Amino acid sequence: MDSSPATAVGAATAAADRPAGGTAVSTARSPRRRSSRAVRRRPFRHSAWAYLFVLPATIALLFAFGYPLFQVVETSFYSGSLGNLTYVGTQNYTGLFQDPVFVQSILNNLKLLATVPVMTALALAVALVLNTQVRGWRKYRSITFLPYILPATAIGLTFGYLLEQSGILNTFLRQWHLDALAQDWLGSSSFVVPTIGTVIIWQQLGFGVVVFSAALLGVPQETVEAARMDGANGWQIQWSILVPQIKRVIEFFIVLEAIAVLSSIFTYVFVLTKGGPGNTSSVMEYYIFQNGFENGAIGVASAAAVVLLFLAGILIFFYLRLRARSEEGAR
C-alpha cells in the first residue's frame, strides 16, 4: 500500500467531506445544485411578475365587461321594472320563442346572413381586378373603402331619402318611364329586408376589398411566375393560384362579417325603418332596444340579449378555431 504524504492528505480530506452516514459527497456539486434550484425558481418569479403587471387591466376588463354580463344574465330570470323585479325563472326565455315578433327578428337576422357570401364574392372579385394593378387601382381601392368609414347613422339617413316611396330613386325611375320598377323599398314587407341587406353590403364591401387586396399582395410572386411559365392564363392564375393562397383570410372575413351582421346592424334598422312595416324588419338588437327602453321589460330584453350572445358566441368560437389553426399552420 502507498503511504506517501500526498496520499495521506487526500484521504484526510475525503474523510472530512464524508457525512455521518458514511457516504462521500463531493463539495464541488453543491454550488451547482444551488444554481439549478435558482434556475428552477426564476421562471416562476418571471411569470408571477408578468401576471402582476397584467392584473390591473384584467380587473378593469372584468369590471367593464364581466360584471355587466353577469347582471344581464341574472336579470334575464326576473320580470318587472328596474326598481321592482320579481323572480320568474326561465319564463322570459320560454316567452321569447312564443313571441312572434322575436321569432320574426331571429328570422330576419338569419336572412341578413345571406349578405355575407354576396359581399365576400363581390369583395374578392374587386380585389382580384385591382390586384392586376389596372390604371388608378389605388384610387379605386380608396373609393371602395370610403363607405366603410362613414358613420352608420349618416348612411341610414342618406339611403332613407334615396329609397323612400317618393325618394330620389323612384323619382328617377318615373322620369324615365320605368314606373314598374319603382317600389316602396322601405315600406313593403317584401322588399324591406333585402333593401337593408343591400345597404349593409354597400357599406361593408370596402372592408373586404382592402383585406383581400392586402392578402393578395402578400402572395409570393415566385408562385405566380412559375404558373405563368407552366402556361397558366390569367383566369387560372386568379382562381387556381391566388384564391387558394388566401383561403384562410377569406374564412376569417366570412366569420367576422357573420358576427357583424348578427350583432351590429341596429343603427340601419332604427334609422331606416324602426322595425317596420309591422315589425317585418325587426332584428334581435332592435327587439332588445324596444323591450328594454321603450316597453320597460328589462327581463325580456335581458333574455333576448343572452340569446343573441349565445348565437354570436357560436360564431366567435369558430373564429377562434380558425385563428388557432392559422397560427398552427404558420409554425
What digits encode the pLDDT tens for the residues 12-67?
A: 444 444 444 444 444 444 555 554 554 455 555 667 777 888 888 889 988 888 88
Query: For residue 215, is it within any domain?
Result: yes
Distance set, CA 183 to CA 20, 166, 328 (Å): 103, 10, 51
pLDDT at 5 over 70: no
Res 132: pLDDT: 82
Q: Mean pLDDT throughout 234-243?
A: 81
> Which of these ranges, 35-39, 182-186, 322-326, has the smallest mean pLDDT?
35-39
- CB contact at 8 A, 293 and 270: no
* pTM for the model: 0.78
With CA atoms as reference, report the closest residue to 97 among 239, 307, 309, 263.
307
User: Per DSSP, which regions of the chain are E strands?
Assistant: 78-81, 84-87
Query: For residue 1, is it within any domain?
Result: no
101 vs 16 pLDDT, higher one:
101
pLDDT at 324 over 90: no
pLDDT at 246 over 70: yes
3-state SS class at 80: strand
CA angle 217, 219, 221 (to 5 degrees): 95
Query: For residue 113, is it within any domain?
Result: yes
Distance set, CA 30 to CA 17, 18, 20 (Å): 12, 14, 17
Cβ contacts of 103 within 8 Å, gap of 6 or more:
97
- CB contact at 8 A, 284 and 106: yes
Give me the CATH number covering residue 295. 1.10.3720.10
Q: Mean pLDDT throughout 192-202?
A: 94
Q: What is the pLDDT of residues 103-133, one digit of tens each?
A: 999 999 999 999 999 999 999 999 998 888 7
326 vs 52 pLDDT, higher one:
52
Other C-beta atoms within 10 Å of 51: how many? Answer: 10
With CA atoms as reference, report the closest residue to 261 among 120, 163, 157, 164.
120
Query: For residue 139, is it within any domain?
Result: yes
pLDDT at 329 over 60: yes
Q: What residue numbers bound the domain in which 270 lies? A: 91-330
Confidence of residue 290 (pLDDT cuts 50, 70, 90): very high
- Distance from C-alpha of 116 to C-alpha of 253, rounded to nearest angstrom: 9
Confidence of residue 4 (pLDDT cuts 50, 70, 90): very low
Other C-beta atoms within 10 Å of 301: how many? Answer: 23
Q: What is the pLDDT of residues 135-183, one digit of tens each?
A: 888 888 889 999 999 999 999 999 999 998 888 999 999 999 888 888 9
Residue 159 CA from chain centroid, whole number = 27
Backbone torsions φ then ψ of 264, nearest 5 degrees: -140, 35
311 vs 34 pLDDT, higher one:
311
Residue 277 preceded by cis peptide, ω within 30: yes
End-to-end CA distance of the chain: 65
pLDDT at 9 over 70: no
Query: For residue 73, is it within any domain?
Result: no
Query: For residue 159, is it within any domain?
Result: yes
> Which of these ranges, 94-98, 153-157, 206-210, 314-318, has the smallest mean pLDDT?
314-318
Burial class of residue 302 in the structure, from the number of CB atoms within 10 Å of its CB (0-12 exposed, 13-18 middle, 19+ buried) = buried
| Domains in the chain, number | 1
Query: For residue 8, is it within any domain?
Result: no
Looking at every residue in the chain, the average pLDDT score rounds to 83
Query: For residue 318, is it within any domain?
Result: yes
